[in-house]
Amino acid sequence: MKLKLLFLLMLGALIAGCGKTENSNEPTAAELKMAQETGSKYAAALMSGLKDTLQTAIREKGVAGAVDVCNVQAMPLTRQAEGEGVSIKRTTNKYRNPENAPDETEKAALAYFETQLKESGSLPENYVQKVSENGEQFLYFYKPMQMAAVCLSCHGDPATMDENLLATLDQHYPNDMARGYSEGDFRGAIRVKIPLK
């Protein structure tokens, strides 16, 4: 009797093991290629729109005036870059706007970039995750952002910032964590959420 039970348990384990597939959280080669092509396009469109808007605002209104523009226009510009079921988010561990705070999945991606930077001294071009949400699957494409010199006016060392600028930042972002950067620092990532059909 014990031998028969042992045989049935082993047979059941063998059959159950045959039905398993590879880790479904890993994108296939085709999914990875599609995510990189689609994600790169959307991330570039967002960065171009934000850069153009901020440079124009700095020229016309100065750095403190650009903070007002960024406060009002950054999120709408992010949404304008979306399309075809694709959504975009800028995320970072040191966020200025709470809407950019990372969720657990995004924290894992940010940690990946930080680890790669620490281990190799440079950031990878991108990172892709396969994510299930409410029974649907998505690819999350991440494009890392590094701090550019022009960004340090608002994100650099507070000791070197203009008092009016600091007051404007404090007014718009009372819980601001996005200061103290140096040129080239890892700032965060653009996350492009791509539905799998």
pLDDT for the residue numbered 8: 39
Among the residue ranges 24-28, 46-50, 134-138, 176-180, the one predicted with the least confidence is 24-28
The residue type at 115: T
> Rounded mean pLDDT of 154-160?
94
So what's the pLDDT on residue 6?
Answer: 39
**Cβ atoms of residues 99 and 91 within 8 Å:** no
pLDDT the model gives residue 68: 75
At CB < 8 A and 24+ separation, what contacts does 94-102 make?
Answer: 94/177, 94/178, 94/187, 94/188, 95/177, 95/178, 95/188, 96/169, 96/173, 96/176, 96/177, 96/178, 97/71, 97/173, 98/175, 99/75, 100/188
Residue 34: its pLDDT value, please?
Answer: 96
Across the chain, what does the average pLDDT equal?
85
In the predicted structure, residue 108 carries a pLDDT above the cut 90? yes
CA distance 50 to 79: 11
Coil vs helix vs strand at 130 = strand
**pLDDT tier, 50 (very low <50, low <70, confident <90, very high otherwise):** confident
pLDDT at 77: 72
CB atoms within 10 A of CB 165: 18
Strand ordering across the sheet containing 186-195: 87-91, 186-195, 136-146, 127-133
pLDDT of residue 107: 98
Q: What confidence tens digit (pLDDT) does each residue in 109-137 have?
A: 999 999 999 999 999 999 999 999 999 99
- Which amino acid is located at 68 in the chain? D
- The CB density around residue 44, as the number of other CB atoms within 10 Å, is 13
DSSP 83: B
- Taking 50 as the threshold, does the pLDDT of residue 73 lie above it? yes
Report phi then psi at 67, rounded to 5.
-60, -45
- pTM (predicted TM-score): 0.81
Q: Do residues 94 and 188 lie in contact, with contact meaning Cβ atoms separated by under 8 Å?
A: yes
| Structure tokens that stand for 184 in this block | 């080239």
